Structure 1
Amino acid sequence: MTRLKSVGQVSVRVNDLNRAVQFYRDILELEFVWETNRMAFFMCGDVRLMLSVPEKPEFDHPGSVVYYTVDDVQEAYNELQLKGVEFHGTPHEIGKLGDITVYMAFFTDSEGNTVAIQEERPTE
């Protein structure tokens, strides 16, 4: 069996593609790649993010949570708040993974999807 090595693309369901493109391009500042009439693509590191208007009702459901890694979760939180992003709470420690402590803050994107920013830093 071939082993899975990394995430290549994540699909996020949207209802208003123009509004979602503005949010991901202008607020989150992801690298815009291209757009069709029902989809838009961004790069986030090595992962491609596809914003997609559902083609059928069975595909119109909230998606998985996408966790964006940042260098400084508090700084990113502050910057996004200044741009109007409403968070569900402040950045907080989620837990420890060996010698790494994980901090996260959650918010809702323009389409109602839950999104998170996360920072992994060496445990002190």
Structure 2
Amino acid sequence: MQTKISEIGQIAITVSDVKQAMVFYRDVLKLDFLFSPSDELAFFQCGPTRIMLSTPQGAGEIGKNSLIYFKVENIEAFYEAVIQQGAAPEREPQFAAPMPDHELWIGFVRDPDGNLVGIMEEKRSN
């Protein structure tokens, strides 16, 4: 029997207004919209991982969720573009750590509900 987790299938993000959040995740972050079965749910695709936006369920609290890091190319340009499109700036991209074959760069913005959204780029070392 396989007991090892193979991959992340879906990540849920708690928001106050799914329709408002859909605009941010679709139009600002440019995630591929999949479907919205109700006013309380919307699904997007980011690479192999599905992102679910939902209103609070159970103990979920808006803006106090786990942090998602989206991999991007040209982190500085991406950061500036999403700020101009309405993302709230949190921390400009900066060098985070040296790796054997690349440098890790990290930056942060906030969505309309204050959820922290991480962006990262693995810049190849010269």
**Same fold per TM (> 0.5)?**
yes
After TM superposition, where is structure 1 displaced by more than 3 Å over at least 4 residues in a row? none
Aligned pairs (5 A) from 1:1-124:
1-35=2-36, 36-56=38-58, 58-61=59-62, 62-124=64-126
Give the superposition deviation at 1:59.
2.2
In structure 2, the CA distance between the partners of 1:54 and 1:6, relative to structure 1 (3 Å rule), is same
Number of corresponding residues:
123
Inter-partner Cα distance in structure 1 for 2:57 and 2:119: 29
Inter-partner Cα distance in structure 1 for 2:77 and 2:15: 27
Larger strand percent: 2
* 2:88 match: secondary structure: coil
Inter-partner Cα distance in structure 1 for 2:57 and 2:101: 44
Give the superposition deviation at 1:22.
1.0
Inter-partner Cα distance in structure 2 for 1:88 and 1:60: 20
Which 5+ residue runs of structure 2 have no aligned equivalent? none
Inter-partner Cα distance in structure 2 for 1:86 and 1:17: 18
* 1:12 match: secondary structure: strand
Give the superposition deviation at 1:121.
1.5
